[in-house]
Structure 1
Amino acid sequence: MMRFLTAASFDDPVDDRIYNRVATRLLPFLMLLYIVSFLDKINVGFAKAGMSAELGLSNTAFGIGAGIFFIGYCICEIPSNLALQRFGARVWIARIMIVWGAISVAMMFVTTEREFFIARFVLGVAEAGFYPGVVFYLTFWFPARLRSQVCALFFLGISLSGVVGGPLSGGILTIFEGVHGLHGWRWLFLLEGLPAVLLGVVTLFWLDDGPAKAKWLPAADRERIAATLEQENASRAGESQHRFADAFRNRNVWLMTAVNFALLGNTYGVSFWLPQIARGLGVRNPMANGLVTMLPFVVASIAMLVISRSSDRHGERRFHLIASSFASAAGLALAAVSAGMPVLSLTGLALALSGALGGLAVLWAIPGTLLSGTAAGAAIALMATVGNLSGYASPVLIGWISQRTGHVEDGLLALAAITCALSVCAWGLARVMVVASPDSEPALLSSRP
């Protein structure tokens, strides 16, 4: 059995054994799903050069096409998350993956700007609910005091998609260019879309809807997990809110949504435009470009794990979230002002991604401690819905600014300013942070809406 959760997180060796066993079963597979998911979102950045040349796309048109994915995604986010609760995680996550994989493959047949926009929008509709659905699903298994680490391990899929996706996408573009008369970008969508379909089928056999149905766990372990979560819910029964509407009336949910908007905007903005930024630094060979774009994601992977484990170990969310958010903004600013200096520019992008992903891991550990039941699912979906609008706004903003100024770096400065402004909302969460230690149950200082 692998150790995914630190020994310092437990004062009982039985819990250590149980939760690391659950983590070993679930997290690598969910991480793999997220790698494929995120890669299918951002591979359009690697396809940009070939697509733009063949389809005649401007920077603004590309930014709209890259971002319009999130319009479809956000429209269907909350309904999809509620459907997951109704039909079960196993079936619903499998459905999402199979459909989005098929549509991602269909991207290879795009021939016009309009078809590009339509395909990206429909892809967003198909994938809606995956990311918040998995975050909500993890609350069925892990208590609040472990969720920052758990979320970080799941979000590691974002970083690893950059680590794996850069060289993989660059290799496909290079090796398959002209094969059977097709440009490399068309092969890119085909070869990176098929794994989602295959993994969707595997999901039906690998995931369980919750601990009660996990036959791979001994009955005593299933009962212990259920008892822990029930005790946790009971301990905050007077503070927690349960109904669907409670999520929309809770001030804290909207504050978290604003911070999520900023951090996701940085993540997607950098991810979509990183290949173009690398090209601007003089790295034009597709394979070399992929290797260079991998570096910031490697650093971000390590930083995210360090930040999340520190947050869980100290039972502290506020400072970790604020520090990560402003570090991300500082990284964007450094990357912007160091144009022409590759080492400093990549260092800035690595800092931006590290802060964004580390902050997201801490942030997503919070909702399940404020709300429960349908309200928790709705809050998570709401945060993801509004937050993911930044996935539309950030690439469009960068594309629009870069087309008018001739410098992608000016778009990064705009993202840095937005991040600083919205990260101030994290200060308002000071009274709802989870206070936990390895030998104590989580406690809420306040959860008033």
Structure 2
Amino acid sequence: MLQRQAERFAIAADDNESRLYRKVILRIIPFIFICYVLNYIDRVNVSFAKLQFQSDLNLTDASYGLGVGLFYVGYILFEVPSNLLLQKIGARKTITRIMCLWGLISGAMAFVSRPEQFYLARILLGAAEAGFFPGIILYLTFWFPNRMRGRVMSLFVLAIAVSGMVGGPISGLIMQHLGGFQGFKSWQWLFLIEGMLPVMMGIAAFFVLDDRPRDARWLSDGEKDLLTANLTIENRTDGHSGAQALLSALRRPKLWMATFGYFSVTWAGTVLNFWTPTIIQRSGVASIFQVGMLSAVPYAIGAVGMLALCHHSDRVLERHGHFFAAVFIAGCAALAVAYASWNSALSIICLAVLAVGYLTAIALFWTIPTSFLSEQEAPGCIAFISSVGQIGSLVAPTLFGYVSDRTGSLAMGAGVVAAVLIAGGSAVLSLRFFRMNTG
């Protein structure tokens, strides 16, 4: 009798907790989802602008790849300071600052006229955006326990797929129809229009987001206590400041192995995010609008695959093997893309498989380091992993563009991408055994 009563109380508690987390998800996730969609569109819309402004700015594939990569110079330099500042001043102020700055700089990209200006604008855009992605990852750890983060992260990373599905057709429409309006070229309108929205959302962030559960006026005291208690059970504290905790964590091999894993994932992102329009165009699709529409297909398929794999990872509570499987799939698909470039249908299929692997790896990866970092270590270490990982985003497009110029084919560059992905996946997979051996 007592056992049945206890079970009923446990079920009721589980139901109350589920309702509470649904409430939190509906309050937080849609807003940051839209913000990240805009973030990704503004980061990769250069891949569509390239189809026309490459000749206007006298850019080769190699110089375009360099410009794409230079974004990450500013990004890497300011990412850790931004996350440490977020820990002090909160997410509202940090996200407002980041979004308003990046929107203004993205809009200013419309006025570049020389390669040097393109390079400078990309560096400044990276500096403005620095801290947004790791800041959101950190922000989600303030609200959700680790057992829920696979699904929550997948909902957030789904924004990458949606940005591809929405950004491609919208960018294609702008490029197809606005050329010459008010004296601006179509690629200039692309930057102007897609730069205004983040500024508006950045201002809204200040009023919509709450820094932590205890600051949320839309939660009752009991709900705040439950959310805080769930996080307190998991969080470890070490008494260090954020900077001290980061320096201490840098002495742990586990952190460096995880960092290399994330470094590898960004190589897959380079192929998918910055070369998809070019790959589709070179496979025989002439219309820019059709290129934009077809560019949405890999992201749509990738989103479905990511949600399924992340849900399975949460259900069995296994991360490392799922991550390795995702990057292995992405590596094989990146290699296949190079050999399918003669056929548009095959190219899109390969890009779709690449999207499944890439999006899944991004979503699952952040459940791994956040499970072993203390509360003090998390802000600096998340930003450190992200910034070092973005070195891949700096090196990969430059290398990919250079090899494409020299060989006239994507095959050699794709082979390097595949090798890096599988090596990074192996490093993260080994963390599972590292943990077992060290306790």
Task: Judge same fold: TM > 0.5, yes or no.
Answer: yes
Alpha-carbon displacement from aligned partner over 1:312-365 (angstroms, at most 9, x marks no partner): 110111210111110111111221222212222211111112111101211101
Aligned residue runs from structure 1 range 280-299, under 5 A: 280-299=282-301
Q: SS state of the match for residue 208, structure 1? A: coil
Structure 1 contact 269–391 (Cα < 8 Å) conserved = no
The letter of the residue matching 2:272 is: V
Matched residue, 1:213: 215
Q: Structure 1 stretch 250-259 or stretch 156-165: which is displaced more?
A: 250-259
Matched residue, 1:163: 165
State the Cα distance separating 1:282 from its structure 2 match: 1.1
For 1:66, which of 65, 68, 78 is the aligned residue?
68
The letter of the residue matching 2:140 is: L
Q: SS state of the match for residue 177, structure 1? A: coil
Q: SS state of the match for residue 211, structure 2? A: coil
The letter of the residue matching 1:393 is: V
Structure 1 contact 107–186 (Cα < 8 Å) conserved = yes
For 2:141, which of 129, 139, 142 is the aligned residue?
139
State the Cα distance separating 1:446 from its structure 2 match: 6.9
For 2:348, which of 341, 346, 349 is the aligned residue?
346
Q: SS state of the match for residue 12, structure 1? A: helix
Matched residue, 1:15: 17
Matched residue, 1:414: 416
State the Cα distance separating 1:67 from its structure 2 match: 1.0
CA distance in 1, matches of 2:251, 2:146: 22
CA distance in 2, matches of 1:19, 1:431: 32
Aligned residue runs from structure 1 range 324-339, under 5 A: 324-339=326-341
Q: TM-score, length-normalised on structure 1?
A: 0.91
State the Cα distance separating 1:413 from its structure 2 match: 2.5
CA distance in 1, matches of 2:420, 2:268: 9
CA distance in 1, matches of 2:13, 2:383: 33
Structure whose residues are more often helix by fraction: 2
State the Cα distance separating 1:30 from its structure 2 match: 0.7
Matched residue, 1:385: 387
Matched residue, 1:224: 226
For 1:153, which of 143, 147, 155 is the aligned residue?
155
Matched residue, 1:99: 101
**What RMSD over aligned residues (CA atoms) do the two structures have, in Å?**
1.8
Matched residue, 1:4: none
Aligned residue runs from structure 1 range 254-333, under 5 A: 254-333=256-335
Q: Does 1:109 align with 2:111?
A: yes
Q: TM-score, length-normalised on structure 2?
A: 0.93
Structure 1 contact 275–293 (Cα < 8 Å) conserved = yes
Q: SS state of the match for residue 249, structure 1? A: coil
CA distance in 1, matches of 2:437, 2:80: 26
CA distance in 2, matches of 1:209, 1:140: 8
CA distance in 2, matches of 1:332, 1:218: 49
Q: SS state of the match for residue 76, structure 1? A: helix
The letter of the residue matching 1:52 is: Q
State the Cα distance separating 1:226 from its structure 2 match: 0.4
Q: SS state of the match for residue 235, structure 2? A: helix
CA distance in 2, matches of 1:418, 1:167: 31
- Structure 1 stretches of 4+ with a deviation exceeding 3 A read 445-448
Q: Any stretches of 5+ residues in structure 1 without a counterpart?
A: 1-9, 434-444
Alpha-carbon displacement from aligned partner over 1:15-74 (angstroms, at most 9, x marks no partner): 111111101111111111111001111000000021111111111110000110011100
Shift in CA distance, 416/207, structure 1 to aligned 2, threshold 3 Å = same
CA distance in 2, matches of 1:34, 1:256: 23
State the Cα distance separating 1:431 from its structure 2 match: 3.6
State the Cα distance separating 1:262 from its structure 2 match: 1.1
